[in-house]
């Protein structure tokens, strides 16, 4: 196996720390809601509860989308890209490694888009990665494809 990469989205805050953050904000809002209750501003309290609930929902959906991943495997005579969505459904794309080209398109804003192209098909890879990570992954794939092509005996060497 010349290449086996698993690409996963970045998450800046571990799940346990997100729970602690939500609890801390909920505690601060609880203290604030007691003050609002004492001042007679009780209609503000449901909005504070809604804020904490929306924050918890946002973190939950963020971590759910973090379950998505892509796996690139270059083995035998196939470059296989398997995309797994957050719910576990996998879609597999198979390319011929000898004809596969790695394209990195630079955008005017400094972003880099990574594509695998072969025989009229073009697949975007690593949409959830940062631009430097896409460039690095593109270099790894190029290197693995070059090693693959160097392994195949050339017909010009036959005497």
Establish if 158 belongs to a structural domain.
no
Please check the confidence at residue 137 and state whether its pLDDT lies above 70: yes
Same domain, yes or no: 89 and 120: yes
Establish if 103 belongs to a structural domain.
yes
Q: What is the mean pLDDT of residues 64-85?
A: 90
Tokens 């972003």 locate to 111
Same domain, yes or no: 57 and 74: no
Looking at residue 96, its pLDDT comes to 92
Compute the distance between CA of residue 133 and CA of residue 104 in angstroms, rounded to an integer: 12
Compute the distance between CA of residue 9 and CA of residue 67 in angstroms, rounded to an integer: 8
pLDDT tens, 85-115? 988 899 999 999 999 999 999 999 989 999 9
Domain that holds residue 143: 3-9+69-151
Same domain, yes or no: 81 and 123: yes
Looking at residue 154, its pLDDT comes to 55
Same domain, yes or no: 97 and 43: no
Same domain, yes or no: 118 and 58: no
Establish if 113 belongs to a structural domain.
yes
Q: Is 2 helix (H, G, I), strand (E, B) or coil?
A: coil
**Mean pLDDT, the chain, as a whole number?**
90
Q: What is the mean pLDDT of residues 18-44?
A: 94
Establish if 159 belongs to a structural domain.
no
CB atoms near residue 27 (< 10 Å): 11
pLDDT band at 152 (very low <50, low <70, confident <90, very high): low
Establish if 111 belongs to a structural domain.
yes
Looking at residue 105, its pLDDT comes to 94
Do 74 and 148 touch, CB atoms closer than 8 A? yes
What total number of domains does the chain contain? 2
Compute the distance between CA of residue 74 and CA of residue 120 in angstroms, rounded to an integer: 19
Which two tokens mark 105? 């398109």
Looking at residue 26, its pLDDT comes to 96
Establish if 98 belongs to a structural domain.
yes
Same domain, yes or no: 144 and 79: yes
Q: Using N-to-C axis directions, what is the helix angle for 15-38 and 45-65, rounded to 10°?
A: 170
CB atoms near residue 129 (< 10 Å): 19
Establish if 156 belongs to a structural domain.
no
Question: Which position has the higher pLDDT, 61 or 67?
Answer: 61
Q: What angle do CA 36, 42, 46 make, to 5 degrees?
A: 105
Which two tokens mark 83? 């995309």
Do 70 and 82 touch, CB atoms closer than 8 A? yes
User: What stretches of 69-155 show up as alpha helix (H) in DSSP?
Assistant: 131-151
């Amino acid at each position: 196996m010349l290449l086996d990469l698993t690409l996963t989205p970045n998450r800046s805050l571990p799940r346990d720390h997100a729970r602690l953050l939500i609890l801390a904000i909920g505690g601060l809002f609880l203290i604030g809601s007691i003050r609002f209750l004492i001042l007679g501003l009780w209609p503000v309290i449901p909005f504070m509860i809604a804020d904490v609930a929306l924050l918890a929902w946002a973190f939950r959906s963020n971590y759910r989308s973090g379950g998505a991943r892509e796996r690139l495997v270059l083995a035998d005579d196939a470059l296989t890209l398997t995309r797994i969505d957050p719910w576990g459904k996998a879609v597999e794309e198979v390319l011929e490694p000898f004809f596969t080209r790695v394209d990195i398109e630079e955008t005017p804003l400094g972003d880099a888009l990574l594509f695998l192209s072969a025989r009229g098909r073009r697949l975007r890879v690593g949409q959830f990665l940062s631009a430097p990570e896409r460039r690095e992954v593109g270099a790894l794939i190029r290197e693995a494809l070059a090693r693959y092509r160097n392994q195949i005996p050339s017909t010009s060497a036959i005497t």
